[in-house]
Amino acid sequence: MAQILDQPRYKCALAAMQTVHAIPRAIPILHAGPGCGTKLNDNTGISGYYSPNIFPSTNIGEKEVVFGGEGKLRTTIENALKIIDADLFVVLTGCTAEIIGDDAEEIVHEFADAGKRVIYVNTPGFKGSNYQGHDWVLTALFEQYLPRERVPVNAKQVNIFPGPPVQDPFWHGNLKELESLFREIGLEPNIIFGYGNGVSAVDRIPAGAFNILVSPWVGLDSVKVLEKKYGTPYLHYPVLPIGATETSKFLRAVGKFTKVDELHVERVIAEHEKEYYYFIERYSDTFLELRILSKRFVVISDAQYAIAATKFLVNDLGWNPGGTQFVTDNTPEEYRESVRSEFEKLNYGIKASMEFSTNGFEIQKKIRESGFTAPPMIFGSSWDKSFAKEIYAPFLNISYPTYDRLIINSGVVGYAGGLKFLEDIYTTAVQSLIL
């Protein structure tokens, strides 16, 4: 059981409404108490067509708790279908509805012939986090929305499933870069989230010849559902590839899995690496001579970014993971060993020490007590900003909550993403110079 005393770094399962909202033309319908949607709505980049402030919600109160909220859910769905122009409606149930045992499934089935698709997901906050909720939404989508029969397979189509959009502040940029890299090695990427994608991309999922999950543990259950439903093989790549080392490794793994021409993949990699190291060389004086960074670091983030940043900082930059790296997503017990093992698979036989913790106070206390001779750079969330200041540590926000940083469509994935991450790191560093 997670112990969040303060500084929450993730949210409850109902926040998987963001996963639905990241699929253009899909709309969440909340079967929850008043305020749930608003309370979970504190990210940036979530307005636009039907923002969480106006998601349809049953707003159930005492009356529904005592007598059941199914009637209210029925009328809310009816009215949502009438007034909202969307292709898919996803009912997400909150704590109250689940405790009183409302049967969302039965109500949703009443809309089988409504002309617009309605599915449901049980996402009570007491059952899990928005990381798990993300997987539950995808599972519901694959089980309830997608047709039973597989359509003709497109041998080049690869469905890419990333970690939870919105919770990942770089999701727009990362997905665009993944799409672009897949195209370059000759595949046809299919991503359901973000600009230019959406429900039509969901419809294309059955035609995919492969599924690729780029995430340490989030989303594993749902790709397994697709494997069972359509027999689509999946590659679980647990590292979000940032920078040349990991991206080249990733492309080779994808190429091998999808049986793309190996020489072609190598040509793509070689071209990208040539460009990447050209820039690294041009700016190497900055990396080598700027002696205001201790080149030690601590990442405080979910498994995805803790692993990804650690790999990049050690493998590409040669930084020292001297202290402990903290994974804050309350990784379920069954995935902890595999997450831990990633911190031990670093270049030059380096092993980083890591810990799972959701307790911000404890994390910061441990960093203070780690005995760094010079402050490490902190890669964390807004919660870590003032702490970093207290210990004179340079700080870069890469993780929810990102209240003090605006990220629109930039990403950190790939070769370009690695350089962008470097820009951010060294911009932070040079900003401490007094000129």
Site residues, other proteins (CB under 8 A): 62-70, 99-102
Cβ 69 to other proteins shortest distance, Å: 8
Pick between residue 64 and residue 177 the one whose CB is nearest to other proteins: 64
Q: How long, in residues, is the chain?
A: 435
* Residue of 335, 66, 361, 89 whose CA lies nearest to 215: 335
Do the beta carbons of residue 142 and residue 205 sit within 8 Å?
yes
Do the beta carbons of residue 253 and residue 232 sit within 8 Å?
no
Pick between residue 62 and residue 113 the one whose CB is nearest to other proteins: 62
In whole angstroms, what is the distance from residue 72 CA to residue 191 CA?
34
Cβ 60 to other proteins shortest distance, Å: 10
Cβ 338 to other proteins shortest distance, Å: 39
What count of Cα atoms within 13 Å lies in the side-chain half-sphere of residue 216? 25
Pick between residue 60 and residue 166 the one whose CB is nearest to other proteins: 60
Do the beta carbons of residue 387 and residue 375 sit within 8 Å?
no
Neighbours of 94 (CB within 10 A): 26
Pick between residue 96 and residue 358 the one whose CB is nearest to other proteins: 96
Pick between residue 100 and residue 253 the one whose CB is nearest to other proteins: 100
Q: Which residue has the tokens 């932070």?
A: 428
Cβ 367 to other proteins shortest distance, Å: 42
Cβ 94 to other proteins shortest distance, Å: 14
Pick between residue 64 and residue 384 the one whose CB is nearest to other proteins: 64
Cβ 128 to other proteins shortest distance, Å: 22
Cα 213 from chain centre: 11
- What is the b/e burial string over 6-38, where b = at least 16 CB atoms within 10 angstroms of the residue's CB? ebbbbbbbbbbbbbbbbbbebbbbbbbbeebbe
Cβ 54 to other proteins shortest distance, Å: 25
Pick between residue 63 and residue 365 the one whose CB is nearest to other proteins: 63
Helix then strand count (H, E) for the chain reads 18, 12
252: its two tokens = 């080779």
